[in-house]
Chains A and B, each alone.
Chain A
């Protein structure tokens, strides 16, 4: 069982994740942008403006901020904490918590303390913000009415992953050091004899690791694809558009006004006239 979860499943997971994501992206690319359905709120006039628009939506959740501050707060904090936790996993394990030591004046010790503190804080914030989104899903009647069971399942599932992760951080007796994890991962993916299998003796680690792998397997087929969907959708509705130039051919307003066109005494004429 541990062999399966620790040494075989990771490869299956990654394969399904990558192929699955490409499968979904392929489905999207296969259908075309047939008509121009750009939103004029307002027109974006250059690639730079498009980048700013999509960037502020993707990284600051601009529309949510504008129209629903409470949702923005929950969603933004959740995703910001998530981004930091994911980033923390990469640099924390990769550089063993010494990432901040690259900043002049910070020692490796200080960096480890900072890394630990940030990891703990973001872990807790992430847990609370997901809990907030879950409560919101039940307490606001509109949100309740649009939810499928899977929307709730996802939030509970993330709470589980984050919860178990937090337990390993907060309770000394369940703590896992960075170093063995790094060695385990490195050995696994450089196809060397796997070391650090004793990590999986910890049921918390085992659970955390297994849940994450299942998440990654289901990810490409689920709503979590909004990570890519967000950009694909905005690519359709936020494009550069230039209005055709105004100005009508052969009009001379000063001359028309001088001739008094429209004034009964001036150059009036017949009424509705059919052309010859």
Chain B
């Protein structure tokens, strides 16, 4: 079912899929009362959620600042209205105001319809946090989306895409289901490609014991974004690093952040820490993945089950540091096509990667054009939080959700001769933008940032 009473919805994981990720679905007739029970638990725990429920003045500032509303013009995609889908229930059951004044203050009884509304609209939000950035109070509707998705998950309602990804991660250590032999084959093939195309001789050490650096790539780089992996490989070769890729965590992403922070996300954190301990590495360096970087940088400290012995940095941080200290020779003329940067939301609003990304790209390309707005003000690509659904209704939504991004890219003018480069250094952004630049006919090719750095490195 991809629609419920006219609302688009992603297709759901079946009972078997849910059990694989350790959830026992709740029968429909029990869902409303269980939803209240879970909501009550959630609100007693998370202040970020409580404040989003209790301090909005309905000023409306967030409306024109959310790409989902700009793309769909659906009032339920206005951030405060999205939050209101839970807030109306929250008020009715958990506030005096709502119990006394009911409808006057917008309180409403729980029902299956409301739960289905949650499923539709919390899965159109990309958890990009632009609403928090613009709200006069800093109200973070992403926190409400996270609450909504967690409750839905506990009820047994999760998109099939996300549930499958969670299951694959648990089974093989990455989202694409690629087992270790496949990883090794792919990496060998990429090393050959790198030699053929750039004349650079690299290798990808897997599970190398006592490596200094554990590099965690996005699994999408093995299949969809090979130049990102090659770029990283060239960079590590250039600096002569003693590095390795852990076969148990060939995944920078952590979909637990997006649908189940209690079990799935936590479990992935343990997996990461175990890998670092087993390989006895000194530092963890993260690959290009926006939500995954947020999960690693900001959530590992609060989810880890032991003291953390490793600094975790992002590859862009490390490259920028070496550029700033004049240790890399980069030749921007190797990337001469007009290039713009799409700022992944998690990088700029949750991880502070704004300046370092610019340091990297400006040193690596000859013809750089800023998009407007950019940095922390940037708009999401429309795929944020992995809403990369392929069913007909949701794919149509994805085109709408990327409308603002398309307008921004068009305004830079880089695609007018059909040879622009849209640098989008995040696997979800890439997966969203590959088809979307075609849908919107933008005349650009999508690339990662390390791709460009790798190609600009001057090995001579």
A residues touching B (Cβ–Cβ < 8 Å)? 24, 27-43, 57, 61, 63-64, 66-68, 71, 75, 140, 142-143, 145-151, 153, 221-223, 225-226, 229-230, 232-234, 236-238, 241, 243-253, 255-257, 259-264, 266, 268-276
- Decide yes or no whether B188 CB sits under 8 A from chain A: yes
CB pair B204 A253 closer than 8 Å: no
Most buried by A among B187, B209, B311: B311
**In whole angstroms, what is the CA distance A29 to B54 when docked?**
13
21 A-B pairs with CB atoms under 8 Å apart are A27-B54, A32-B45, A33-B48, A35-B48, A39-B133, A40-B353, A64-B61, A148-B104, A148-B106, A149-B105, A150-B104, A233-B55, A236-B51, A249-B282, A250-B212, A251-B212, A263-B200, A271-B191, A271-B202, A272-B190, A274-B207
Within 8 Å CB of A223, what residues of B? 55-58
CB pair A272 B352 closer than 8 Å: no
**In whole angstroms, what is the CA distance A274 to B96 when docked?**
62
With A232-B51, A269-B201 as given contacts, are A32 and B58 in contact (CB-CB < 8 Å)?
no
- Decide yes or no whether B460 CB sits under 8 A from chain A: yes
9 more CB-based (< 8 A) A-B contacts, given A225-B55, A272-B185? A28-B47, A57-B137, A146-B78, A146-B81, A229-B137, A236-B140, A248-B318, A269-B203, A272-B190
CB pair A34 B45 closer than 8 Å: yes
Q: Find residues 338-356 in chain B having any chain A CB closer than 8 Å to their own CB.
A: 348-355
Q: Which one of B61, B104, B349 contacts A153 once the chains associate, using CB atoms below 8 Å?
A: B104
CB pair B349 A40 closer than 8 Å: yes
CB pair B138 A57 closer than 8 Å: yes
5 shortest A-B CB distances, which residue pairs?
A229-B55, A256-B240, A268-B201, A148-B106, A40-B352
Count chain B residues whose beta carbon lies closer than 8 angstroms to a beta carbon of A.
106
Q: Which one of B50, B192, B204, B298 contacts A28 once the chains associate, using CB atoms below 8 Å?
A: B50
With A145-B78, A145-B81, A232-B51 as given contacts, are A40 and B354 in contact (CB-CB < 8 Å)?
yes
Within 8 Å CB of B301, what residues of A? 36
Chain A residue nearest to B241 (CB atoms) is A251
| Distance between A187 CB and nearest chain B CB, rounded to angstroms | 33
CB pair A238 B138 closer than 8 Å: yes
| Distance between A226 CB and nearest chain B CB, rounded to angstroms | 5
**In whole angstroms, what is the CA distance A183 to B303 when docked?**
60
With A24-B54, A237-B140, A244-B312 as given contacts, are A274 and B201 in contact (CB-CB < 8 Å)?
no
CB pair B302 A230 closer than 8 Å: no
Chain B residue nearest to A27 (CB atoms) is B50
CB pair B322 A253 closer than 8 Å: yes
With A271-B191, A275-B208 as given contacts, are A145 and B75 in contact (CB-CB < 8 Å)?
yes
Q: Find residues 85-116 in chain B having any chain A CB closer than 8 Å to their own CB.
A: 95-97, 100-101, 103-106
Within 8 Å CB of B244, what residues of A? 275
| Chain B 29-43 per-residue mask, 1 if CB under 8 angstroms from chain A, else 0 | 000000000000001
Within 8 Å CB of B95, what residues of A? 221
**In whole angstroms, what is the CA distance A30 to B41 when docked?**
12
- Among listed B231-239, B390-398, B425-433, interface-contacting one: B231-239
- Decide yes or no whether B80 CB sits under 8 A from chain A: yes
Interface contact tally, CB-CB below 8 A? 277
Chain B residue nearest to A153 (CB atoms) is B104
| Chain B 293-315 per-residue mask, 1 if CB under 8 angstroms from chain A, else 0 | 00000110111000000011100
CB pair A143 B46 closer than 8 Å: no
CB pair A245 B311 closer than 8 Å: yes
| Distance between A230 CB and nearest chain B CB, rounded to angstroms | 5
With A39-B133, A67-B134, A71-B59 as given contacts, are A243 and B352 in contact (CB-CB < 8 Å)?
yes
CB pair B143 A37 closer than 8 Å: yes
Within 8 Å CB of B303, what residues of A? 35
CB pair A142 B327 closer than 8 Å: no
Within 8 Å CB of A241, what residues of B? 352
Within 8 Å CB of B75, what residues of A? 142, 145-146
CB pair B78 A253 closer than 8 Å: no
| Distance between B69 CB and nearest chain A CB, rounded to angstroms | 8
CB pair A275 B205 closer than 8 Å: yes
Within 8 Å CB of A146, what residues of B? 58, 60, 63, 75, 78, 80-81, 84
**In whole angstroms, what is the CA distance A248 to B201 when docked?**
22
**In whole angstroms, what is the CA distance A35 to B55 when docked?**
20
Q: Which one of A30, A32, A262, A272 contacts B184 once the chains associate, using CB atoms below 8 Å?
A: A272
Q: Which one of A31, A140, A221, A271 contacts B97 once the chains associate, using CB atoms below 8 Å?
A: A221
CB pair A35 B322 closer than 8 Å: no
| Distance between A179 CB and nearest chain B CB, rounded to angstroms | 37
CB pair A255 B240 closer than 8 Å: yes
- Decide yes or no whether B285 CB sits under 8 A from chain A: yes
CB pair B376 A247 closer than 8 Å: no
Q: Find residues 179-204 in chain B having any chain A CB closer than 8 Å to their own CB.
A: 184-185, 187-188, 190-192, 195, 199-204
Q: Which one of B134, B201, B203 contacts A273 once the chains associate, using CB atoms below 8 Å?
A: B203
**In whole angstroms, what is the CA distance A233 to B430 when docked?**
33
CB pair A249 B213 closer than 8 Å: yes
CB pair A270 B203 closer than 8 Å: yes
CB pair A230 B137 closer than 8 Å: yes
Within 8 Å CB of A251, what residues of B? 212, 239-241
CB pair B134 A63 closer than 8 Å: yes
| Distance between A153 CB and nearest chain B CB, rounded to angstroms | 7
